Structure 1
Amino acid sequence: MSMVSLPSLQDMIDSISRERNLPKTAVQEALQEALLKGYERYRRTQQMDSNQFDEEYFDNFYVELDTEEEGFRVLANKTIVEAVDNSDHQIELKLVQEVAPEALIGDTVVLDVTPEQGDFGRMAAIQTKQVLAQKLRDQQRRLIQEEFQDLEGEILSARVLRFERQSVIMAVSSGLGQPDVEAELLKRDQLPNDNYRANATFRVALKRVSEGSHRGPQLLVSRADAGLVVELFSNEVPEIEDEVVRIVAVAREANPPSRSVGPRTKIAVDTLERDVDPVGACIGARGSRIQVVVNELRGEKIDVIRWSPDPATYIANALSPARVDEVRLMNPDDRQAHVLVPEDQLSLAIGKEGQNVRLAARLTGWKIDIKDSAKYDYEGEARKMEELAEARRLAAEEQAALEAEEMALAEEALSEVEDFPEAGTSEAAVGSEVGSVEQAAERAAVEMMDDEDAAATISAAVEAAPEAIAVADPAAAADVETAAPAETLSAETVGFDPEADSLSPDAAGGEAQ
């Protein structure tokens, strides 16, 4: 059998395996695919009309590597036929029977179609090199996908390698004994207090494993994700790992809109054990546990609060360290609350540039309006609530009346359909019935003409009917249109809408540390 020589084939495979962090079998597979593409290029250059080779033309060809003799062969599976139509896919029966008399039509044989060493030219070699590089990248991406696909959201150790534009390229390990893999830390996922110097180590959250074939690292990691805080607490607090304490919700602002405001996180915790303090468990003796998390996040401020099923208590706890006088749930359906605080607590409740109340709103899922207790208009707010409740009551009544009317119309239409003749009735029978109805109508009309008062009454009713149908309930509609407008916040009110990156959107409750 002929062979194309590849000097130091085994050394080349070993070298690529080390450089690319790939198993040797993966390198061999990539090399075989690349050499087959090179053979295809060689065949196309030999053929006058290369268009006859479609994408599947060489599917019956494959490459066999010989590391001992340092070379490769090209082999083809060919079907035995009586008369050959395509010599690349078929072979004549009588030729095969010269060496294998038991061969039959339809059997498959393997033939060596390796070109001569000199025939495998420069263009084929270039094609092989290009395809090999692509196949090796594909192999790497496939192996990375298999290694990391179940680790999304997990905490990984990362080491800074280099910088590309505003991104940091890091080396991360899956902890499965495989070599480190490059990951990208985008600008928006970095922390302002981090110092990303070469070889500095960080703990990062695996944000996404890309399946695409784009250039650059396949892994995206984050230092700003709320899940990083959750995983750090889970690693430091045994009660969370044992599910004695649970993290209900997290609101994090790792990159505040202003540089004058530092990163901050609020985390709500709860427990089903009466003798366990969930907040104290997360903080630890003399703050030992939470300090580990703070140090890892480079000094980020963290508030641990107690979750509560009572929304008012939860909102009050979420605004810690501010002291709250009262929480009034103004509109539970829209989750709007007024929080009354003493005048000296206003700035603390709002926080620098609104950060405290903003995070509290995200954590609880409520729209929070901070108001001065001394200036709060209880009577005015009560009237607004009554007007809002009345408007909702009228709207509900109108909706109920509309639904009842629609139901009545539907029942009437259904009864009319049921009164129609059955589908099997003959045309003659239908015509007879129609004639009978017309005769009855004529007799009724003659009788009515004898009574002028009755005729006038019927005429008036017919003329009034369209107007009665067109106007359903004008009084109710007017009531809805005159309902009280929505509350307009005064200049002394500070309000925020929640946009929580909460782990539990339905959560409500907590105490801050």
Structure 2
Amino acid sequence: MNNALQQTIESLAKEKGIEADVIITAIEDAVLTASRKYYKSDENLRTKFNPDSGQVELFAVRQIVEEVTDPAAEISLAEARELYGEEAEPGMEIEFPKPTDVLGRIAAQTAKQVIFQKVREAERENVFGEFSQRVGEVINGLVKRFESGDIVVEVGRVEALLPRREQSRAENYTTGDRVRAVIKDVNKNTKGPQIILSRTDPVLLIKLFEQEVPEIYDGTVVIRGAVREAGDRAKVAVASREREVDPVGACVGMKGTRVQAIIRELRGEKIDIVEWSDDPTTFVTNGISPARVQRVSVVDEAGRVIEVVVEDRQLSLAIGKKGQNVRLAAKLTGWKIDIKSEEEKRREVEAQFDDLGAEPAPLSVPGLDEEMVEKLNAAGIETVERMVSASASELSEVLGLSEGAAEALRQGAEAATMAAGGAVGSGTTEAVPQEGIDPLPGSAIEPPPLSAIAAPESANETADAEMTASDSKEAGTPTDAGGHDESVSDASGDPGDEAAPESSEPSREGD
């Protein structure tokens, strides 16, 4: 092959990331197009690239026939045998060379345009084939320019798009900044393949955990769900395949080092890491973290409605800023969460009895003796309804019992109340289906069979035994003294999460 042309083809192939054969085919097509424009004949023209001479050769192709009907495309058998001897047979094709050095400047310009077009098409097809196989993968790029709020990101030799809707509101970029994002989609359009990136998709959070936590990468710990409100807060549910491995602690890392790396990458987005459970009451209790839950009961299993009662002072924390905490918990667990304070629950029970025209029931509960009743009366707990609304810790302190025994007595009182008056429903927080966390092939998010997950010794385990209360405070980490779920936030510790409800009856809707 001509050395100059060979080097040009190889250099272009390397630059565009395509095969040299694709460029050779493009050159042949370009010369053929230019030749047809120059000769303006009905001949059947054909081009071939000669690797020895480095030239593109042009031929007029004619088919051997017994009787010629189209002189431009056919040749008689007698004439063919005069040229090629007895080997010529009807149906064979004969190539007649035609000169290419007469094509001229206009034909050369046409050939150049055709070559560029063919190479561009091959390059686009190559990019589409490569990146369509990488959907769900985290990539690094540089901010190249801005287009109407969208960010054009340079990823290697190609450009990707980070649309405004896929950007976190907590992030701002300038030209040249590094961007780490997940490939969300690859589309074909008239300008070529369009690679869509995302910084808000939950898949980005999952992939970051896979990169930072070896136990997730090797499958020991499995991410069972992830939800985000990008720039503000996220919740991740994890489970362990091995009993001796604490899934929450593995994700948090020593003194929060692992999760803090992810928080920094997400520009301070707070992350609650909770332990997954197949028991809905336990899972919802974990999911409502960092608020501490007093009681959880399933109201409607078919409709997936669950009631959560928290201490009065914990209500605003459980609901979260603009309902964010309970909304994310509902998305994560897949249950509609009706969250109430103890005072609200007490008023509800009293209203049930008022509607029934019944007098408050005296303290007559299985397991309560006269001495216990006297202690309760002295503490202002004089009716079954008041006992139901009390917390287990309050009853434990008054009666001098363990919290477990006190909770058993409270549940007995609640059973008596429900038998007498029934349950009254209230507003619920809708659970919205999770977006963007469909299991990826080979990803650690794929849920294992329930039989493969060891049952935890406790429904809520402390995320990291070596993470002290002072460490948590410095990291802005709400810590549950009772050994509840691990909630990790950025160093600022946004106090807005405990914003008081706007009215005496706080909204529990998801928005």
Coarse TM-score class (shorter-chain normalised): 0.5 to 0.7
Distance 1:503 1:84, change over 3 A: same
Deviation, 1:350, is 1.1
Q: What is the letter of the counterpart of residue 370 of structure 1?
A: I
Q: Could you tell me which of 106, 113, 124 is aligned with 1:141? A: 124
Q: Could you tell me which of 354, 357, 364 is aligned with 2:333? A: 364
Residue 323 of structure 2 corresponds to residue 340 of structure 1: no
Look up the match of 2:92. 108
Alignment of 1:216-235 (within 5 A): 218-235=194-211
Look up the match of 1:194. 171
Look up the match of 2:318. 349
Distance 1:238 1:15, change over 3 A: closer
- Conserved? CA contact 2:35–2:100, under 8 Å: no
Residue 10 of structure 2 corresponds to residue 27 of structure 1: no
Residue 191 of structure 2 corresponds to residue 215 of structure 1: yes
Look up the match of 1:81. 65
Distance 1:324 1:76, change over 3 A: farther
Q: What is the letter of the counterpart of residue 30 of structure 2?
A: A
Look up the match of 1:252. 228
- Conserved? CA contact 2:221–2:238, under 8 Å: yes
**Distance across 1 between alignment mates of 2:446 and 2:306:** 16
**Distance across 2 between alignment mates of 1:327 and 1:89:** 87
- Conserved? CA contact 1:182–1:217, under 8 Å: no
Look up the match of 1:401. none
**Distance across 2 between alignment mates of 1:82 and 1:121:** 41
Distance 1:101 1:216, change over 3 A: closer
- Conserved? CA contact 1:35–1:128, under 8 Å: yes
Q: Could you tell me which of 180, 183, 192 is aligned with 2:160? A: 183
Look up the match of 2:504. none
- Conserved? CA contact 1:249–1:503, under 8 Å: no
Question: Who wins on radius of gyration, i.e. which is larger?
Answer: 1
Residue 100 of structure 1: SS of its match in structure 2?
helix
Bigger drift between 131-140 and 231-240 goes to 131-140
Deviation, 1:274, is 1.2
Distance 1:34 1:119, change over 3 A: closer
Q: What is the letter of the counterpart of residue 252 of structure 1?
A: R
Residue 81 of structure 2 corresponds to residue 97 of structure 1: yes
Look up the match of 1:162. 145
Look up the match of 1:326. 295
Deviation, 1:194, is 3.1
**Distance across 1 between alignment mates of 2:90 and 2:432:** 71
Alignment of 1:259-338 (within 5 A): 262-338=231-307
Distance 1:383 1:158, change over 3 A: farther
Distance 1:125 1:7, change over 3 A: farther
Across the two proteins, how many residue pairs are aligned to each other?
377
Look up the match of 1:203. 180
Deviation, 1:307, is 0.4
Look up the match of 2:365. none
- Conserved? CA contact 2:60–2:98, under 8 Å: no
Deviation, 1:105, is 3.3
Deviation, 1:68, is 6.7
Deviation, 1:233, is 0.6
Distance 1:86 1:224, change over 3 A: farther
**Distance across 2 between alignment mates of 1:277 and 1:339:** 26
Distance 1:106 1:305, change over 3 A: farther
Q: What is the letter of the counterpart of residue 191 of structure 1?
A: S
Alignment of 1:48-87 (within 5 A): 61-66=45-50, 71-87=55-71
Residue 496 of structure 1: SS of its match in structure 2?
coil
Distance 1:251 1:172, change over 3 A: same
**Distance across 1 between alignment mates of 2:425 and 2:16:** 63
Q: Could you tell me which of 433, 444, 455 is aligned with 1:499? A: 433
Residue 182 of structure 2: SS of its match in structure 1?
strand
- Conserved? CA contact 1:41–1:127, under 8 Å: no
Distance 1:322 1:144, change over 3 A: same
Look up the match of 2:133. 150
Deviation track 1:208-261 (CA, whole Å, cap 9, x = no partner) reads 233x2421553222221111111111111111112111000111111xxxxxxx
**Distance across 2 between alignment mates of 1:263 and 1:76:** 70
Deviation, 1:69, is 5.2
Distance 1:302 1:89, change over 3 A: farther
Residue 150 of structure 1: SS of its match in structure 2?
helix
Deviation track 1:250-292 (CA, whole Å, cap 9, x = no partner) reads 11111xxxxxxx4321110001311110000001101111111
Look up the match of 2:404. none
Taking structure 2 as the reference length, the TM-score comes to 0.65
